[in-house]
A and B are shown apart, each in its own frame.
Chain A
Amino acid sequence: MEASAIPTAWLAGLSAPGGVLLVVPLILPVVGLLLGLLLGGRRLGPFVFVLLSAGLAAAVVVAAAVVTGGEPMLYQLGGWSPPLGVALKADGLSVVLLLTSAVVTLGVAVYAQRDFRPPGARETRGSLAFWMLLLGVWAGLNTVALGQDLFTLFVALELLTFSAVPLVSLDGRAETLAAALRYLLFALLGSVLYLLGAVLLYGAYGTLDIGLLAVQIAAAHALPPSVLAAAALMTVGLMAKTALVPLHLWLPPAHAGAPPAASAILSALVVKGSFFLLLRIWFDLIPGLLDLPAAQALGVLGAAAILLGNLMALQQARLKLLVAYSTVAQIGYLFLIFPLAGTTSGPTWALSAGTLQVVSHALAKGSLFLAAGLIAKALGHDRIRDLAGVGRVLPITLLASGVAGLSLVGIQPSGGYLVKAALQGAAEAGGTWWWGLVLDAGGLLTAAYLLWFIGHALSGHGPHPATAKAPGRAQELVALALALGSLLLGLLPAQVFELISVGRVPPPEPIATAWAGAFHWGSLAAGLLPLLVVAVLVLAFGPWGGRRRPGPLGWPAVGAAGLGSAVGWLDARLRCWPVAGFSLLALVLTLGVGFAFGARACVT
């Protein structure tokens, strides 16, 4: 952070009010929620835009204060200190989540101005509901970022879920109502498990403040059974809310059925809220868990999510379902950091990589869902095989999809590439090369389904969609801006990423060393060569080869079809309610027993 003297002094002046600043991101959405009922749906849209701009400014000021101060900001509500009072804290991680949620929500708010405030149309209750729910999601995310008390965080997660569920069913169709209900019930199961874990921790230590708990847990000779049980319960509860395979039954129908602006928020931000809490628990509350062998189990589930999600995305017929399954896969990358982040086994870049994946995926997936919404609106459908000609009608939208895709696949210089480089580096340094293999396979599969979609959209066959409705220019530009943001994330100076480590004890190794020499032509070529092979394969299966052709005959096609139906069968079984419920219980038991054995082995 080599800033000149004047901006530094100015920034230091901004942070003078101290911790009170942290209250601003919590108050802004609530102000909007209260005034929303007075303003009504039509006037609430522009007002939300103003509030979000103010929120982004507040997040930037908090970030500047944290960076210049070099230590976390603390605020005790009402002057009561924990354990009786409730504290707010902004460290590097919180700042990243605050900034990401402000940027993506602002982008979605710009996009939604047209969808939910059609000029000349009558006021609908749907638009009022959308804007208020958007504010609710934003309030929940900000509280998740700043909360320092496990119960406050529980309430924040519930606020997030209760705002997200009705977003799914805004259009009131029967299938989206059913998807919302399924989402709500499964999320409730997850939050009860989380609450049970918090209760156990309170029973053992008499406080729910993360800072106080972490000190007491670290002081113990070995992790006591109640802490291990609480960790297993909370981890699995949060995994259910994050939709990690095999607990992903609710995600595809919910994210694919929602209106585009809502899908973008759900996929980009809402699942990250519960993941962020997992980071807090594993890295701040009980860092000892990372050294237990059970941390590998989370990585295995993440790898399964990458493979299953990508293979399912590859065989979807509808664009929004493809993007939703892509989210299932990208969530897997988030969980690969747990086996790679051991404090004794290797470098501690993994947390930075996970945080960066949160940001990069939020931007890219937000953009992709907005683009998919524009395409569906222009054509009136989102069947991938019938997308021919879209490239002519919506060139900017398609460009946005492509750029966002670069980040999802992990091509230089995107944020996704940095994530993969850091995870690969950590895997190699730790001698666990198989995680790198999963990363490579995931990237190639992602490239395959994105090329499948873009290939169809670019092909000139089929009727020219002359009847297509023209989208708003601002909507297309928002999708492009979010995509460019995720692409250019990799070009930020490496020092910026050290923001993540503010407030971590002991300070992790600088992530910049992981990326030293990550950018060069050789690695670009090495990354692009397999992609060319994938592109040729996708072409062989043919968006340009005429419609409805089953692809080249022979054993590759038969093998692919067999694999596809097997994966589809597995996914359908996993997404049955009882199967997912029993997987949840089995995961709690497995993790609990794994923690217990690991902790005993550590002591002896």
Chain B
Amino acid sequence: MSGETLFGLCGAALVGVGLFGVICQPGALRKLIAFNLLGSGVFLLFGVIAKRGGGALAAAGQGADGDPVPQALVITGLVVAFAATAIAIALLRRLAGLNDQGRSEGEPPPASRSRSDGGP
């Protein structure tokens, strides 16, 4: 089994596990972690495509050993996924804070707040 096939299968497995987690896990934090697995799987597939050389360089007839464009795109994608995770964590923390507050005071969380910390 060649390296590309192995990595491709790993990517597919990550996508599968990620999809299962996002759809079936009950908690938002678990869904978020599963989303990160799913994203990693897609990025890994992108890397495999770069390794196979099925990209711009191969199209130009230059070498089949590594295409830099997918690497650049994967890095951008990682930044986007990181930003998404950060926003979701911020929302989750804020939500958890409100729930804790409501529980300790024995009353529902305050109806409105003027400040909105915790946003990105």
How far is A162 from B87 in the complex, measured between Cα atoms in Å? Answer: 8
| Interface SS of chain B | helix
8 Å CB contact of B120 from A166, A203, A578: A166
Of A56-64, A182-190, A404-412, the one touching chain B: A182-190
Check B42–A192 contact: CB distance below 8 A: yes
Q: A162-B83, A192-B35, A203-B54 in contact; A155/B95 too (CB < 8 A)?
A: no
Q: What is the distance, in angstroms, from A209's C-beta to the closest C-beta of chain B?
A: 10
Contacts of B120 in A (CB 8 A): 162, 166
How far is A172 from B102 in the complex, measured between Cα atoms in Å? Answer: 14
Contacts of A585 in B (CB 8 A): 19, 23
Contacts of B113 in A (CB 8 A): 171-173
Check B114–A124 contact: CB distance below 8 A: yes
Of A30-38, A69-77, A194-202, A304-312, the one touching chain B: A194-202
Contacts of A114 in B (CB 8 A): none
Q: What is the distance, in angstroms, from B93's C-beta to the closest C-beta of chain A?
A: 10
Check A185–B31 contact: CB distance below 8 A: yes
Q: Is B49 an interface residue (CB 8 A)?
A: yes
8 Å CB contact of A184 from B15, B19, B84, B99: B84
Nearest to A163 among chain B residues (CB) is B120
Q: Is B69 an interface residue (CB 8 A)?
A: yes
Check A189–B22 contact: CB distance below 8 A: yes
Q: Is B80 an interface residue (CB 8 A)?
A: yes
8 Å CB contact of B91 from A180, A578, A581: A180
Nearest to A185 among chain B residues (CB) is B31
Q: Is A468 an interface residue (CB 8 A)?
A: no
8 Å CB contact of A185 from B35, B76, B115, B117: B35
Check A184–B45 contact: CB distance below 8 A: no
Contacts of A154 in B (CB 8 A): 77, 80
Contacts of B56 in A (CB 8 A): 83-84, 206-207
Check A84–B69 contact: CB distance below 8 A: yes
Contacts of B91 in A (CB 8 A): 165, 169, 177, 180-181, 184
8 Å CB contact of B58 from A124, A189, A206: A206
Q: Is A151 an interface residue (CB 8 A)?
A: yes
Q: A83-B56, A162-B120 in contact; A173/B112 too (CB < 8 A)?
A: yes
Q: Is A515 an interface residue (CB 8 A)?
A: no
Q: Is A204 an interface residue (CB 8 A)?
A: yes
Q: A192-B35, A207-B59 in contact; A181/B98 too (CB < 8 A)?
A: no
Q: A124-B115, A174-B99, A206-B55 in contact; A185/B23 too (CB < 8 A)?
A: no
Q: A173-B113, A585-B23 in contact; A83/B77 too (CB < 8 A)?
A: no
Check A125–B115 contact: CB distance below 8 A: yes
Check A185–B88 contact: CB distance below 8 A: yes
Check A206–B54 contact: CB distance below 8 A: yes
Check B84–A158 contact: CB distance below 8 A: yes
Q: What is the distance, in angstroms, from A128's C-beta to the closest C-beta of chain B?
A: 9
Nearest to B28 among chain A residues (CB) is A181
8 Å CB contact of B42 from A169, A174, A199: A199
Q: Is A178 an interface residue (CB 8 A)?
A: yes
8 Å CB contact of B59 from A83, A169, A196: A83
Contacts of B31 in A (CB 8 A): 185
How far is A181 from B102 in the complex, measured between Cα atoms in Å? Answer: 19
Nearest to B22 among chain A residues (CB) is A189
Nearest to A180 among chain B residues (CB) is B91
Contacts of A153 in B (CB 8 A): none
Q: Is A170 an interface residue (CB 8 A)?
A: yes
Q: What is the distance, in angstroms, from B20's C-beta to the closest C-beta of chain A?
A: 10
Nearest to B72 among chain A residues (CB) is A151
Q: What is the distance, in angstroms, from B7's C-beta to the closest C-beta of chain A?
A: 13
Check B109–A129 contact: CB distance below 8 A: no
8 Å CB contact of A196 from B45, B69, B76: B45
Contacts of B119 in A (CB 8 A): 125, 129, 166, 169-170
Q: Is B32 an interface residue (CB 8 A)?
A: yes
Chain B 89-110 against A: per-residue CB contact (8 Å), 1 yes, 0 no?
0011011001100100000010
Check B49–A203 contact: CB distance below 8 A: yes
How far is A584 from B19 in the complex, measured between Cα atoms in Å? Answer: 11
8 Å CB contact of B54 from A129, A174, A177, A204: A204
Q: A181-B88, A578-B23 in contact; A155/B35 too (CB < 8 A)?
A: no
Q: What is the distance, in angstroms, from A282's C-beta to the closest C-beta of chain B?
A: 22
Check B83–A195 contact: CB distance below 8 A: no
How far is A321 from B87 in the complex, measured between Cα atoms in Å? Answer: 25
Contacts of A174 in B (CB 8 A): 95, 98-99, 102, 109
How far is A16 from B118 in the complex, measured between Cα atoms in Å? Answer: 46
Contacts of A173 in B (CB 8 A): 109, 111-113
Chain B 48-86 against A: per-residue CB contact (8 Å), 1 yes, 0 no?
010010111011000000010110010011001001100
Chain A 74-87 against B: per-residue CB contact (8 Å), 1 yes, 0 no?
00000000011000
Check B15–A172 contact: CB distance below 8 A: no
Counting chain B CB atoms within 10 Å of each CB, the highest count among A178, A188, A202, A585 belongs to: A188
Give the contacts of A37-73 with B (CB-CB under 8 A): none
Q: Is A503 an interface residue (CB 8 A)?
A: no
Contacts of B67 in A (CB 8 A): 206
Check A125–B28 contact: CB distance below 8 A: no
How far is A124 from B113 in the complex, measured between Cα atoms in Å? Answer: 10
Q: Is A582 an interface residue (CB 8 A)?
A: yes
Check B83–A199 contact: CB distance below 8 A: no
Q: What is the distance, in angstroms, from B46's C-beta to the closest C-beta of chain A?
A: 5
Q: A151-B73, A171-B116, A199-B45 in contact; A192/B109 too (CB < 8 A)?
A: no
Q: What is the distance, in angstroms, from A227's C-beta to the closest C-beta of chain B?
A: 14
Q: Is B10 an interface residue (CB 8 A)?
A: no
How far is A124 from B115 in the complex, measured between Cα atoms in Å? Answer: 6
Q: What is the distance, in angstroms, from A407's C-beta to the closest C-beta of chain B?
A: 33
Given contact pairs A192-B42, A202-B55, a sample of 5 additional A-B residue pairs in the complex whose CB atoms are under 8 Å apart: A125-B115, A169-B94, A177-B94, A184-B88, A189-B35
Q: List 25 A-B contacts (CB under 8 A).
A: A124-B115, A129-B119, A162-B84, A162-B120, A170-B116, A172-B116, A172-B118, A173-B109, A174-B109, A181-B28, A181-B91, A184-B87, A185-B22, A189-B22, A189-B38, A192-B39, A192-B42, A196-B45, A203-B54, A206-B54, A206-B55, A207-B56, A581-B23, A582-B23, A584-B23
Interface residues of B (CB under 8 A from A): 15, 18-19, 22-24, 28, 31-32, 35, 38-39, 42, 45-46, 49, 52, 54-56, 58-59, 67, 69-70, 73, 76-77, 80, 83-84, 87-88, 91-92, 94-95, 98-99, 102, 109, 111-120
The 10 closest A-B pairs by CB, nearest first: A581-B23, A206-B59, A203-B49, A172-B113, A206-B55, A177-B95, A174-B98, A181-B91, A166-B119, A172-B116
